[in-house]
Amino acid sequence: MKKFIIPGIIIIIIIFVIYNVAFKKEEAEFETAEVIKGKIAQEIFETGQVKKGGTINLSFKSAGTIEKVYVEVGEEVGNQEILAKLETNQLQIQLKEAESALAVAQAKLDKLLAGATVEEIKKAETTVANKQIALDSTKEDLEAAYEDAVNDLDDAYLKAYNAQNTTNEIRRTYFISFDQAKIKYETNQNNITSAAAQIKELINEAKETSQRDKINLALSGTKTKLSDISDYLKNIREVCEEPNYRNIVSSADKTLIDTERTNINTAISTVTGAQQAITAAFSDVQVAEGNLQAAQDDLAILTADPVQEDINLYQAQVNQAQASVDALENTIEEAYLRSPVAGQITDIKKKAGELAQPALQDVAVTLLSKAPYEIEVDIYEEDVVKVDVGNQVDIILVAFPEETFKGEVIFVNPAEKVVDGVVYYEVTIAFESIPENIKPGMTTDLTIKTAEKENVLIVLEDAIQKKAGKTIVEVLKGEEIEEREVETGLKGSDDMIEIISGLEEGEKVILR
């Protein structure tokens, strides 16, 4: 009997060892975390510097023509008070169109779900034909816009050529002696001649090729050169007022220079109008193409039994239309230049009718903040998209490390700042209450609270995986592992992430 008992015991021991080594070890290969409900906060950590509450240069967030300036130099303004506004007539029209497109997209989705009648199919076929006619018309309008642009370019060159001839004639008449004024005059006059020649070269190339991109290039280049010529004429006019020539150059010739500059500025406006007309016509073509495609899609869907893919497509069109409405509403809101803080207007650099650009150097209004101290911080481009005016900020001054002060984001400069090839955006933060003994230049450690949610499902971010374009987690069900797709939301600064769908509270997920 012993001969059989001993091998049996050995087999049991071997099985026990294999179980403990293999299975127990496998269980210990991963770590789990529980899905819980709680608060999640998205925060950005940066280092800033205290500065005196001085002037703030305000620029528009988008390009456009200024419609109205509501304030004057010296005027006291409150926080978020409107200072100026860009023209939004075209945007309002586009918004109405987008809202109509949204309503149509929603109606189409509803109708798809309800099914179509024979009459509706015939109507859809007619709509396709009409949309094709509309597209052909917009293409003709675009072609006409380019033809008009070429004529405007010719007129612009003529004005540049006239300015060249006029200034050349005045130079030969009055600037005979070799002196500094003559050198300045000839330099600017030669620059006008060169600019006019470059305009002619751009126009000739555009005409020879008849390519639209060449015409666009000619318009852009011509406008730049016309602007240069305007500056050169201004310089020449100033030379004519120098002591040695003030009483020599006749009033008539001085007026002639002024007239040439006015003509050049008019040409700049004309060329700008031609660019805008092309842009508008091109946009109309794109809209018409979209309308035609939508009509064709409608007809195809109407003549087929609704399937889930079609429903998904129409829902996507609804979502896209809603996104267009949201984007236009946001653009219209950005057309208003608002005061980020209470203060006093110290300078107005733009007036109604002028063009504004979303650039750091294209300042529209300068404001003197009432706050004695503020914090300035440069935030990396990937983080600044999370920052909004009104975000709360925890502030620790290096000089007073034991105390945390409260603040608020009051201004996010829309213009970029490039440092060593890296794009940053300047953000200004105001103190809730000014600390005692604070000094300009002090370093601050900042925690900007960009978003916060309470009572939401959260889990450690290490549980989230990307696989085949999907966001998944591994859920532990007893001794089984279930792979599940999830939708995530806000990412917290404490390595937690919001779960919008796909998990339930109390479930255990595997950390990788």
Asked whether the predicted pLDDT for residue 173 surpasses 90, the reply is yes
Q: Over 60: is that where the pLDDT of 25 sits?
A: no
* Residue 16 domain-assigned (yes or no): no
Asked if the model's pLDDT at residue 139 lies above 80, the reply is yes
Please give the Cα distance from 44 to 392 (Å, whole number): 11
- Whether residue 26 lies inside any domain: the answer is no
Those residues with Cβ within 8 angstroms of residue 406's Cβ, 6 or more apart along the chain or in another chain? 392, 393, 394, 395, 431, 432, 433
* pLDDT at residue 512 is higher than 60: yes
Residue 110: domain span: 89-115+306-334
Residues 6+ away with beta carbon under 8 Å from 381: 416, 423, 424, 425
CA 228/CA 215 separation, integer angstroms: 20
Banded pLDDT at 395 (limits 50, 70, 90): very high
Q: Alpha-carbon distance 473 to 486, whole Å?
A: 7
Residue tagged 């499902």 (tokens): 457
Give residues with Cβ within 8 angstroms of 267, minimum separation 6: 155, 156, 159, 160, 226
> What pLDDT shows up at residue 95?
93
Does 406 share its domain with 483? no
- What lies within 8 Å, CB to CB, of 38 at 6+ separation is 454, 455, 456, 458, 496
Q: Does 411 lie in the same domain as 354?
A: yes
Same domain, 244 and 310: no
Number of folded domains that form the chain: 4
22 part of a folded domain: no
The proportion of the chain whose per-residue pLDDT surpasses 90, expressed as a percent, equals: 45
Residue 15 domain flag: no
Could you give the strand order of the β-sheet that contains 82-86, starting from the edge strand earlier in sequence?
Answer: 336-338, 82-86, 64-69, 355-356
- Give the model's pLDDT for residue 26: 45
12 occurs within a structural domain: no
**Is 1 among the domain residues?**
no
CATH number at residue 443: 2.40.30.170
In contact, 77 and 346? CB cutoff 8 Å: no
347 with 444, same domain: the answer is yes
pLDDT at 17: 52
Q: Report the pLDDT value the prediction gives residue 254, as an integer from 0 to 100.
A: 94
Q: Which residue is associated with the tokens 């085949």? A: 468
For residue 502, the domain's CATH number is: 2.40.420.20
Q: Are strands 496-501 and 487-491 parallel, antiparallel or unpaired?
A: antiparallel
CATH number at residue 329: 1.10.287
321 and 376, same domain (yes or no): no
pLDDT band with cut points at 50, 70 and 90 for residue 27:
very low
Say if residue 61 is in the same domain as residue 140: no
Mean pLDDT of 260-271: 96
Averaged pLDDT, 381-385: 87
Q: Is residue 5 part of a domain?
A: no
For residues 488 and 471, is the Cβ–Cβ distance under 8 A? yes
**Residue 16 pLDDT class (50, 70, 90 cuts):** low
The band of 382, judged by pLDDT with boundaries at 50, 70 and 90, is confident
Selected residue with higher pLDDT from 232 and 409 = 232
| In the block, residue with structure tokens 């600037």 | 175
In this structure, are 444 and 330 located in the same domain? no
pLDDT of 24 reads 47
Burial group, residue 217, by CB count within 10 angstroms (0-12, 13-18, 19+): middle
Give 461's DSSP letter. Answer: G
Residue 21 placed within a domain: no
Residue 28 token pair = 């210990």
Q: Is the pLDDT of residue 302 over 60?
A: yes
In this predicted model, what pLDDT tens digit does every residue of 423-480 receive, in sequence order? Answer: 988 888 888 878 888 888 889 999 999 888 888 889 998 889 888 878 989 898 877 8
> Over the stretch 46-90, which tens digit does the pLDDT of each residue have?
999 888 777 788 888 888 899 999 999 889 898 889 999 999 999
Q: Are residues 174 and 322 in the same domain?
A: no
For 193, other C-beta atoms within 10 Å of its C-beta total 19
135 and 232 share one domain: yes
Q: What CATH number is attached to the domain comprising 243?
A: 1.20.140
Task: Quote the pLDDT of residue 12.
Answer: 54
pLDDT of residue 2: 42
H-helix or E-strand spanning residue 301? helix 251-302
* 237 and 199 together in one domain: yes
pLDDT confidence tier of residue 3, bands split at 50, 70 and 90: very low
Instruction: Give pLDDT, residue 500.
Output: 86
* Same structural domain, 153 and 77: no
Based on the domain organization, do 286 and 364 belong to the same domain? no
| Of the candidate ranges 130-139, 263-272, 388-397, the one whose mean pLDDT is the lowest | 388-397
Structure confidence at residue 28 as a pLDDT band (50, 70, 90)? very low
